[in-house]
């Protein structure tokens, strides 16, 4: 997994969870100041990344995350600790995940807003 892939996935998540234009999401973007994301949004963003990369991010790792670049670092550090390109395995991998990136933000509380009450 490379940095560009993680950033692309993060942009997609930001569009889905935060409703922002993907063009404004860069490594230097501040979640709070540039993307209008609060702490609850950050949890949702990270949950979506967890699904996409089949990883598990410990709660305490979120504390220092303020920029998109830091979130990319966090994902890379967990998904690819040895930087060998192989999928993560063992303690940090999410045992419940099937290994395939989720096709959409299933972690969002209720799906697309226009149909936010819909049930699958």
Q: Is 18 among the residues that bind another protein (CB under 8 A)? A: yes
Shortest spacing between CB 30 and another protein, in angstroms: 17
Applying CB under 8 A, does 76 fall inside the site for another protein?
A: no
- Looking at the Cβ atoms of 3 and 108, the one nearer to another protein is 108
Q: Which of 81, 5, 21, 9 is nearest to 45 (CA)?
A: 9
- The two most distant CA atoms of the chain are separated, in Å, by 42
* # residues near another protein by CB under 8 A: 25
19 Cβ contact partners less than 8 Å away, ≥ 6 residues apart: none
In the set 16, 33, 38, 118, the catalytic residue is 38
38 is catalytic: yes
Burial class from Cβ neighbours inside 10 Å (0-12, 13-18, 19+) for residue 64 reads exposed
Nearer residue to another protein within complex by CB, 2 or 30 = 30
């Amino acid at each position: 997994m490379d940095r560009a892939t993680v950033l692309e996935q993060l942009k997609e998540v930001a569009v889905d969870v935060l409703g922002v234009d993907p063009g404004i999401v860069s490594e230097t973007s501040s979640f709070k100041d540039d993307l209008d994301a609060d702490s609850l949004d950050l949890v949702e963003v990270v949950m979506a990344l967890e699904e996409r990369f089949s990883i598990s991010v410990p709660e305490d790792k979120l504390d220092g995350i303020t920029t998109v670049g830091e979130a990319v670092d966090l994902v890379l550090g967990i998904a690819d600790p040895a930087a060998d390109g192989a999928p993560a395995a063992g303690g940090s991998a999410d045992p419940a995940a099937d290994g395939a990136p989720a096709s959409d933000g299933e972690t969002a509380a209720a799906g697309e807003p226009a149909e936010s009450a819909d049930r699958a």
